[in-house]
Amino acid sequence: MANVTVIGAQWGDEGKGKLVDWLSNRADVVVRFQGGHNAGHTLVVGNQTYKLSLLPSGVVQGKLSIIGNGVVVDPWHLLKEIGQIREQGVDITPDMLVLADNACLILPIHRDLDQAREAAATNKIGTTGRGIGPAYEDKVGRRAIRVADLADREALEAKIDRLLAHHTPLRRGLGLPEVDPAGLLAELEAMAGKILPYARPAWLLLDEQVKAGKRVLFEGAQGALLDVDHGTYPYVTSSNTVAGQAAAGSGLGPKGPGYVLGIVKAYTTRVGEGPFPTELFDDVGKHLGTVGREFGTVTGRERRCGWFDAALVRQSVALNGIAGIALTKLDVLDGLPTLKICTGYRLNGQEIGYLPAGLKAQGQLEPVYEEMEGWSQTTQGARSWKDLPASAVKYVRRIEELIGAPVALLSTSPQRDDTILMRDPFQD
């Protein structure tokens, strides 16, 4: 199978960046297909740490990198990120970075709206405040400004009018100052010349690449439980984060995604608000947060931590068509005498094996746990299955059984080379 799609199988922050970086070695093209700069991908290569939010992780290895049509793009942020990565010695040129010309833009008005709504809300979503939701709203509302519009002043003027006809009353209601259309036009025109060299029909380029036998790696952002349809709605992001979106968000068609690799953390975390059945408020929760350095890459917020939820990941395996998983951060569990795995839930006296759709029901779930013996040795940096303590192997095997998918890769530290390969997703 030629292509691989990497997605987060929980609530994001599973360690996708490292795995995508590791797999990019074997790929020719790396594609982002949803989300925006709400994502935070940390790549540690030797003594360099790269923090990416919008650029596909393939840029670090000089691979052809595509920001697909499914992504919402803050062009000013993109230019800033290109500048930062350049400063770290990675050159980025329009030969290697392609921005889909039909991708929609995130504008300052989207950020304003996201932040003002969160500040005013009694039921906060806990967004990253980067304008992601409002930008997707304008996309499906058919009033967004797309990358290609930057090359057409007439189109831009008409689109700005249409956009502000919608945003002005909203801004008034939230006490935000009015936006001057001429000022917005000037800002867009001043930036256009720097962004347009990267703009191309990405679907066409991808089609050519695939026909030439190239291998494509799709890089998901966030996680399946943050999917706007399948996640813990409304405490979700505003895009489809599941693997099927790799096709629609890149233009490659349903065969495009290929082998789906779900990235799974050996315990569970989430940032922002919303249901989290296995959340821990005790010392173990604190231990996971401290040892696992569970702070958001984008916002610096503390992540909520809890036991591994096999019911949740089993659901994710089905929703994404996951063929194999990459298990990350097993070493964070080192030294815990007893581990718990959630195998299902109790709701109103009955046992269920999945997360129900209703928010109230999600909030009432009581996890059903199975206990396992922990291990005292360190698993950090292990490079072979043989280096793992027997209890750690048992834990991993039990996870495989409960979720119904095999472990293809085991990541044992943030370093690129601390990865145990069980089966190669590109060969499977």
Q: Is residue 12 within the footprint of ligand IMP (CB under 6 A)? A: yes
Give the x-and-dash track for 228-247 against ligand IMP (CB under 6 A).
Answer: -------x-xx---------
Q: Which stretch binds ligand IMP (CB under 6 A): 25-33, 128-136, 162-170, 361-369?
A: 128-136
CA-CA distance, 251 to 95, in Å (whole number)? 20
CB-wise, 184 or 271, nearer to ligand IMP? 271
Active site residue 112: no
Encoding tokens for residue 201?
A: 């029909």
Element (H, E) at 98: strand 97-100
Q: Extract the tokens encoding 31.
A: 């594609």
CA–CA distances in Å: residue 148 to residues 70, 130, 153, 297: 14, 22, 11, 30
- Region binding ligand IMP by CB under 6 A among candidate stretches 124-132, 254-262, 368-376, 392-400: 124-132
DSSP per-residue string spanning 390-425: HHHHHHHHHHHHHHT--EEEEE-SSBTT-EEESS-T
Q: Of 111, 130, 215, 416, which lies in the binding site for ligand IMP, with binding defined by CB under 6 A?
A: 130
Closest to ligand IMP by CB, 320 vs 343, is 320
Rounded least distance, CB 112 to ligand IMP, Å: 14
- Single residue of 66, 99, 132, 342 touching ligand IMP by CB under 6 A: 132
- The angle formed by the CA atoms of residues 66, 71 and 72, to the nearest 5 degrees, is 130
Looking at 41, 110, 167, 230, which residue is catalytic?
Answer: 41
Q: Give the integer Cα–Cα distance in Å for 316 and 319.
A: 5
List 61, 127, 320, 328, residue binding ligand IMP (CB under 6 A) = 127
**DSSP, res 176:** P
Tell the burial category of 358 from Cβ atoms under 10 Å away from its Cβ (0-12, 13-18, 19+): exposed
Question: What are the structure tokens assigned to 322, written together?
Answer: 């996951």
- Rounded to a whole number of angstroms, the minimum distance from the CB of residue 148 to ligand IMP is 25
372 binds ligand IMP (CB under 6 A): no
Least Å distance between CB 76 and ligand IMP?
A: 17
Contacts of residue 353, defined as CB under 8 A and 6 or more positions apart, other chains included, come to 311, 314, 343, 344, 345
13 is catalytic: yes
Q: Please select the residue that binds ligand IMP; options are 34, 222, 343, 362, rule is CB under 6 A.
A: 222
Query: Would you say 130 or 146 has its CB closer to ligand IMP?
Result: 130
3-state secondary structure of 341: strand
Q: In the range 266-305, which residues lie near ligand IMP by CB under 6 A? A: 271-272
CB of residue 270 to ligand IMP, shortest distance in Å: 7
CA atoms of 316 and 223, how far apart (whole Å)? 9
Q: CA 146, CA 188: separation in Å to the nearest integer? A: 11
Of residues 22-41, those binding ligand IMP (CB under 6 A):
38-40
The catalytic site residues sit at 13, 41
Q: What residues make contact with ligand IMP under the rule CB under 6 A?
A: 12-13, 38-40, 125-128, 130, 132-133, 221-222, 226, 235, 237-238, 271-272
